[in-house]
């Protein structure tokens, strides 16, 4: 690419080589951008994270964490972490989890998680307000290809969680997590609705009554 071609459109999927993608995300000013790449297509998300997105991010993260603590499920959560399969894939989900025996898989000091070395996270969650259509479609395909076991797309506007179990590089909708048995999408959706009227401490107290 020459100098006039180095800046590609953001917040949409565009065709690009792996080298073009890396050149884009490594430019100054892209430190806080979220990058996605799959088989010749890239998406760089530059939109700022608003209050609604941030609040729901916190609610979902706390709900999963609290349930896992109360049920004794080993868990490592990665917030906005980068995962990369060199030359083929990259994604930076809002939340990613290694669960059970894989909870301590990634060593300290790791920067970008090498998917060829460690494999994909077990659970990936995207929180979407302006990106929810993409989260439910193209990104879902990306996570199917990556081998993620379970994927949730959280619709901030509608307070709905589209949860999917990945099966044979496809997926099907589920109402209860397969990785966190007993955790239903209905409970988390109720927590999202409560967060519109109550502070997160109150929502957390309610979640504790549901997780025991």
Beta carbons of 180 and 127 less than 8 angstroms apart: no
Residue that finishes a domain, picked among 26, 48, 70: 48
Tell whether 7 and 103 lie within a shared domain.
Answer: no
Q: What pLDDT, on a 0 to 100 scale, did the predictor assign at position 17? A: 96
In this prediction, residues 17-36 reach a mean pLDDT of: 92
Cα separation values, 23 from 26, 92, 105, Å: 5, 17, 29
Q: What backbone torsions phi and psi does residue 173 show, to the nearest 5 degrees?
A: -70, 140
Q: What is the pLDDT of residues 194-205, one digit of tens each?
A: 999 999 999 999
178 vs 7, 50, 51, 78, CA distance in Å?
41, 30, 30, 19
| Beta pairing class for 34-38 and 83-85 | unpaired
DSSP label at 111? Answer: -
> Is residue 145 located within the same domain as residue 161?
yes
Q: Is 178 found in the same domain as 157?
A: yes
pLDDT at 1: 42
Tell me the pLDDT tens digit for each residue of 163-201: 999 998 799 999 999 999 999 999 999 999 999 999 999
Domain end marker among 25, 48, 71: 48
In terms of domains, do 21 and 72 share one?
A: no
Strand order in the sheet with 113-114: 14-15, 41-45, 34-38, 89-91, 83-85, 113-114
Question: Would the pLDDT of 152 be above 80?
Answer: yes
Alpha helices by DSSP H, the chain: 18-25, 51-71, 115-118, 132-136, 138-146, 185-194, 200-211
So what's the pLDDT on residue 56?
97
Structural domain count, the chain: 2
Same domain (yes/no): 145, 44: no
**Statement to judge: residues 165 and 129 lie in one domain:** yes
CA atoms within a 13 Å half-sphere pointing along the CA-CB vector of 100: 9
Mean pLDDT score, 7-23: 92
Residues 55 and 130 in one domain: yes
Residue with tokens 């409970």: 187
- Provide the pLDDT for residue 6: 54
Domain interval for residue 29: 1-48
Same domain, 36 and 132: no
| CATH number of the CATH domain containing 65 | 3.90.1570.10
pTM of the predicted model as reported, rounded to 2 decimal places: 0.94
* Domain match, 33 and 55 both: no
C-alpha 16/C-alpha 148 separation (Å) is: 24
pLDDT, greater one: 161 or 7:
161
**Predicted local distance difference test score (pLDDT) of residue 8:** 79
Domain match, 12 and 111 both? no
Average pLDDT score over the chain = 94
Dist CA 133 CA 141 (whole Å) = 12
pLDDT in tens, 68-117: 999 999 999 999 999 999 999 999 999 999 999 999 999 999 999 999 99
pLDDT confidence of residue 45: 95
In angstroms, the Cα distances linking 197 to 54, 192, 201 are 16, 10, 12
Alpha carbon of 198 to those of 29, 131, 169, 193: distances in Å? 36, 25, 39, 9
Structure tokens at 105: 């898989």
d(CA 84, CA 91): 7
User: Are 14 and 62 within one domain?
Assistant: no
Instruction: Tell whether 165 and 136 lie within a shared domain.
Output: yes
Q: SS3 for 148?
A: coil
């Amino acid at each position: 690419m020459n100098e006039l071609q180095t800046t590609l459109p953001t917040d949409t999927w565009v065709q690009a080589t792996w080298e073009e993608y890396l050149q884009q995300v490594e430019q100054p000013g892209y430190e806080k951008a979220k990058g996605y790449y799959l088989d010749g297509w890239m998406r760089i998300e530059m939109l700022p994270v608003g209050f609604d997105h941030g609040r729901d991010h916190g609610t979902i993260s706390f709900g999963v964490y609290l349930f896992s603590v109360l049920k004794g499920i080993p868990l490592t959560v990665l917030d906005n972490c980068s995962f990369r399969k060199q030359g083929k894939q990259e994604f930076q989900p809002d939340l990613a989890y290694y669960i059970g025996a894989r909870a301590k898989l990634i060593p300290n000091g790791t920067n970008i998680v090498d998917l060829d070395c460690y494999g994909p996270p077990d659970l990936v969650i995207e929180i979407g307000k302006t990106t929810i259509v993409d989260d439910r479609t193209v990104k879902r395909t990306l996570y199917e290809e990556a081998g993620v076991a379970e994927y949730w797309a959280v619709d901030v506007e509608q307070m709905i969680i589209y949860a999917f179990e990945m099966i044979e590089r496809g997926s099907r909708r589920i109402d209860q997590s397969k990785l966190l048995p007993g955790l239903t999408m209905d409970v988390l959706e109720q927590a999202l609705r409560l967060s519109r009227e109550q502070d997160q401490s109150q929502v957390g107290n309610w979640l504790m009554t549901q997780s025991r």
